[in-house]
Amino acid sequence: MPKAPGVYAWWFSPPPAGVPLEGTLSGPAGHLLYVGIAGSNLHQRIRHQHFGGNAEGSTLRRTLGVVLADTLGIHLELSPSGTRLTFGSEGEKKLTHWMVNHASVGWLAYDHPHEFEDTALHTLCVPLNLKNNEHHPFHPQLTALRKKMATAAKLATPS
């Protein structure tokens, strides 16, 4: 994986239950459900933030986690510092394990990834993207689910 700017696409097999698949691309790797960009380093973004990071540093991880919360038995919580939302140590491990078994990622090094992002989001049907994807029918439901889980995490934290 290059340490260069670029674009990436996440495929899932099987996809998380409840995520609409109508209009998504499908192939041997499953269904294309998310695209993203790395402004400077594909390796860092994919390996260390999406696969090895936590819900605070990866929109994809937070989205997958809230969609898979019941399936994996995880929930958002505030970090001990009270400033970041994560799925906790065990929850993040469960999410990573799920991704290793059900996700594939492809990438393309590209010097101007922002040029690609808008075109991709208006051309492809990618239900797990939020930013600039308001036109997707799943967007309101996903946004509400993320907000509900974030609010619950903040309310569950003793002050």
Q: Is residue 46 part of a domain?
A: yes
9-20: per-residue pLDDT in tens? 999 999 999 999
What is the rounded CA–CA span in Å between residue 104 and residue 157?
34
* pLDDT, position 140: 98
Residue range of the domain that includes 96: 6-156
Share of the chain above pLDDT 90, in %: 77
Structure confidence at residue 157 (pLDDT):
64
Instruction: Go through 24-55 and write b for each residue having 16 or more CB atoms within 10 A of its CB, e for each that does not.
Output: beeeebbbbbbbbbbeebbeebbeebbbebbb
Q: Looking at the domain assignment, is residue 122 inside a domain? A: yes
Taking only Cα atoms into account, the Rg of the chain, rounded to an integer number of angstroms, comes to 15
pTM over cut 0.75: yes
pLDDT value for 156: 85
What's the structural domain count of the chain?
1
pLDDT at 80 (0 to 100): 80
- Measured between its terminal Cα atoms, the distance across the chain in Å is 43
**pLDDT exceeds cutoff 60 at 71:** yes
- Burial of residue 21 (CB within 10 Å: 0-12, 13-18, 19+) is middle
**Residue 47 falls inside a structural domain:** yes
Say if 1 falls within a structural domain: no
> What's the pLDDT at 53?
80
Domain contains 20: yes
